[in-house]
Homo-oligomer: A and B are copies of this chain.
Amino acid sequence: MRIAVVGAGALGLYYGALLQKSGNDVYFLLRSDYDVIMTAGLTVFSENGDLHLPKVKGFRFTDEIGKVDLVLVGLKTFANEFFDELISPLFGENTLILTLQNGLGNEETLAALFGEDRILGGVAYLCSNRGKPGVVHHLGEGRILLGGHARIDSTKTEIVAACFRDAGIDCRVVPDLKSARWEKLVWNIPFNGLCALMLKPVDSLLNFEPTRRLIHDIMNEIITAANAQSLLKFIPLSLPEKMVASSFKLGQYKPSMLIDRLEGRPLELEAIFGVPLRVAAEKDIQMPRTQQLFALLQLTEKD
């Protein structure tokens, strides 16, 4: 498959590397890493075995790449305003677009630009960070829950999933992408939000009873909002217990929003907080803790 990776952060580089390794023709849109990757290649350090790709097809502009079968979108959601400019040159008659971004609203924005029958969404459970230029550290997990958005042909979804599985990625097709997106928010809102606000890694929040209880409370708030959204699959009330327990294993992991704040980048507040709060409010669901966290994180961006 001819695949373009747009948004080559840790996530885009990691999946792109695996897809290239398994024989796909992968094109990376690169920015700060361009020079290093073009000369020294791309390296993934992983507990599943390190991977070095000495030769990578990197580009500075997507119109140098041409049309592809699949666009893999790994952009930070605050860059969604560049969808049209970045993806249009890649978009041919049969091109599919898969967004692996965080939060809500990304498929809808893409569908409005490129058509409801071309968009896939994937919820990636991946722990990864960037190291020095040209290096990605894979810290754990990596599975993708893949779903078609709106009017896409389900065989196309299956073809993309098979391509990912051939690359060794645990990729399952789910019947209800929206449920999967909300389920990921149950983790993302408290952990990304609180870690970024308090400038602390995951374990600092989990190892202190008042904040561990707060995480539970926030998670319950999100589940209530999610289960008011006519999901095909309800989110079980037992999820917070399970999610908190498994998050202890992450130790001093820094969620992406904390890293964004530490590195002075904008935060993905609209996709992870703004849109969920808005669609919850449309169903008359109040999320006081999530709203408070959103307000305080917005304040940090005013610095």
Partner-B contacts on A (CB < 8 A): 194, 197-198, 200, 204-205, 208, 210-211, 213-214, 217, 288-289, 291-296, 298-300, 302
Assess A292 versus B294: contact at CB under 8 Å? Given A198-B299, A210-B299, A302-B208.
no
Q: In the bound complex, what is the Cα–Cα distance between A295 and B298 (angstroms)?
A: 19
Asked whether A288 lies within 8 Å of B197 as measured between CB atoms, the reply is no
Assess A299 versus B208: contact at CB under 8 Å? Given A288-B289, A292-B289, A292-B292.
yes
Assess A214 versus B291: contact at CB under 8 Å? Given A200-B299, A208-B298.
yes
Q: In the bound complex, what is the Cα–Cα distance between A205 and B298 (angstroms)?
A: 11
Query: Which residues of B are found within 8 Å of A292, using beta-carbon distances?
Result: 214, 217, 289, 292-293
**Interface pairs A-B: 3 shortest CB-CB:** A210-B295, A214-B295, A288-B288
Asked whether A213 lies within 8 Å of B295 as measured between CB atoms, the reply is yes
Whose C-beta in chain B lies nearest to the C-beta of A213? B295
Q: In the bound complex, what is the Cα–Cα distance between A194 and B197 (angstroms)?
A: 12
Contact of A211 among B194, B198, B208, B296 (CB under 8 A): B296
Q: In the bound complex, what is the Cα–Cα distance between A214 and B287 (angstroms)?
A: 12
Q: In the bound complex, what is the Cα–Cα distance between A164 and B69 (angstroms)?
A: 82
Q: How far is the CB of A240 from chain B (nearest CB, A)?
A: 15
